[in-house]
Amino acid sequence: MIKPIIPVLAGACVLLFGCSDSNDNNNISDPVALCAGTQVQPVRLFLQQLTSESVIVKWRGNADGGAEATSVCFGADMAALPASSETDATVTATGHSEVLLSGLEPDTTYYYSVGGAGAADAAHHFRTAPAAGELPADGNTRILILGDSGVAGKGSPDAGFVLEGGMKYVKNQGDEPVDLFLMLGDNAYNQGTDMEHQLAIFDVYPDLLSTTSLWPTIGNHEMGSFGISTTTSPNDYAIIGDGANGGPDPAPDSPMPYLNIFTLPANGEAGGLASGTEQYYSFDHGNVHIVSLDSQLAIRDADSRATMLQWLKDDLTANTMDWTIVIFHHPPYTMGSHDSDNDLGGIDQPIFAIREEFTPVFEEYGVDLAYAGHSHIYERSYYINGHTGLSATYNAATMAELNDSNLPATGQGDEAYTQIARNGMDDKVVYTVAGNGGQVTVTSPGFPHPANFFSELELGSVVIDVNDSRLEASFVDVDGAVLDSFVMTR
């Protein structure tokens, strides 16, 4: 049950010993009662569905071995979280505690205590999204993207190194915090069990997850079966082998841990059009619209695919934000550890469905950038349109934005892309494969894909900085160095 709560306003006076107000005849008001609980450090703690007026705090367990927290207190003053903010958690069938904090002010930092203490520590805070269509006060929205990062579930430290590199870059670029954290699927190898989500996500990114809302998408490894499942329903989630890292989730929840762990906006809770399913969704953050598609389950069934495609068209038609980014797992143009000319006997059929049926919609309906993973490599395309066939059908002269020399424009320097392309249309997209968030493996025989400007087997993350007129997307390596970037203006 979620108690009704009294909103805490940005400038609200919540001092322990009362507040004075020169416009008020009562110079001394009553002391403000504080939350009286004890802060608990959960085993997993993360933020979901951050909007301009609300956020979901979700957790499980107590890292110190004591009782699990049952409520959250929050407020704009870290040292004084008012009792009126205390909100009880609901507990899900698979043992997560969840609280919706609502009535918040836009673009405002709040502090919180899981367990309902009267003060928070500096590690527990979040900043609400700007009002719809607006820029944040600092003028910039910063987005961190990781793909195929879930290797800690199989014993590799490399996802941690990728995060360190990304954070080093963030620090060097004005130290502005990450506003949005996107994951491109294969977030928890090998089989996307609950325990593997713990090892590969909650144990690897605790600082980021307690301060930044996470928005994921479904990869093939989220469906168990060592990533080779071709089934179309979450109810078919299954693992291969003895389940050393856990198995399906217990009834009555879905057997698919991804859907139980994440609380995603199926009903347009964060802007965007309601999809009716947590498998795919959209949301707004300030002036940015983001869509997460399901390229693993819904896309494999003709009826479900048609439903998702129509929802995408309707969502993008209703979208009025300055910038639009789409994320999904299966990349349309890759010659990394997966080959976008090869459907792998059906396992990689979604690569073809994305390319043939979805890229035309991205291009016609104003999408600016698309991010996928699956191939354990970084590959970034030119600014393209109309490439729905195999790699041999790519024709730079007709499909790419061209520079003054009639060569494909790079997106760099004086070849920066413009949202309205030279033909006067907003009909092109930059496609990036960023499946290099935890491992880089091999290239395919056709490497590099001709539609890609930059292709490299190098670990890293993507950081996007965006305001109302300029977007810059950077590929950052484990040392914090930028190996590729492009700029788009509008």
Sign of CA pseudo-dihedral 159, 121, 53, 88: positive
Other CB atoms within a 10 A radius of the CB of residue 176 amount to 15
Q: Which is nearer to Fe ion, 61 or 219 (CB)?
A: 219
Q: Does 196 bind Fe ion (CB under 5 A)?
A: no
Q: Does 305 bind Fe ion (CB under 5 A)?
A: no
Question: Considering the complex, what minimum distance in angstroms separates the CB of residue 160 from Fe ion?
Answer: 17
Query: Which two structure tokens, joined as six digits, stand for 460?
Result: 């890293």
Contact set for Fe ion, span 218-277 (CB under 5 A): 219-220
Q: Which is nearer to Fe ion, 148 or 415 (CB)?
A: 148
Q: Of 86, 105, 107, 186, which one interacts with Fe ion (CB under 5 A)? A: 186
Question: Considering the complex, what minimum distance in angstroms separates the CB of residue 307 from Fe ion?
Answer: 23
Question: Considering the complex, what minimum distance in angstroms separates the CB of residue 292 from Fe ion?
Answer: 15
At a CB cut-off of 8 Å and minimum separation 6, what does 490 contact? 322, 323, 418, 419, 420, 468, 469, 470, 471
| DSSP count for the chain of H helices, then E strands | 8, 22
Burial string for 127-151 (b: 16+ CB within 10 Å, else e) reads bbbbeeeebbeeebbbbbbbbbbbb
Q: Site for Fe ion (CB under 5 A): how many residues?
A: 5
In angstroms, the CA 433 to CA 76 distance is 39
Pick the piece of the chain touching Fe ion (CB under 5 A) from 58-66, 152-160, 312-320, 371-379: 371-379
Provide DSSP, 267-334. Answer: T-BTBS---SSTTSEEEEETTEEEEE--TTTGGGSHHHHHHHHHHHHHHHHH---SEEEEE-SS-SS-
Amino acid at 116: G
Question: Considering the complex, what minimum distance in angstroms separates the CB of residue 258 from Fe ion?
Answer: 13
**Which residue is it, tokens 């990062």?**
149
Q: Which is nearer to Fe ion, 186 or 278 (CB)?
A: 186
What is the x/- site pattern for Fe ion, positions 143-162, by CB under 5 A? Answer: -----x--------------
Q: Which is nearer to Fe ion, 289 or 330 (CB)?
A: 330
Strands 213-216 and 281-285: unpaired
Question: Considering the complex, what minimum distance in angstroms separates the CB of residue 223 from Fe ion?
Answer: 10
Q: Does 379 bind Fe ion (CB under 5 A)?
A: no
Q: Does 374 bind Fe ion (CB under 5 A)?
A: yes
What is the x/- site pattern for Fe ion, positions 93-132, by CB under 5 A? Answer: ----------------------------------------
Give me the residues that bind Fe ion (CB under 5 A), please: 148, 186, 219-220, 374
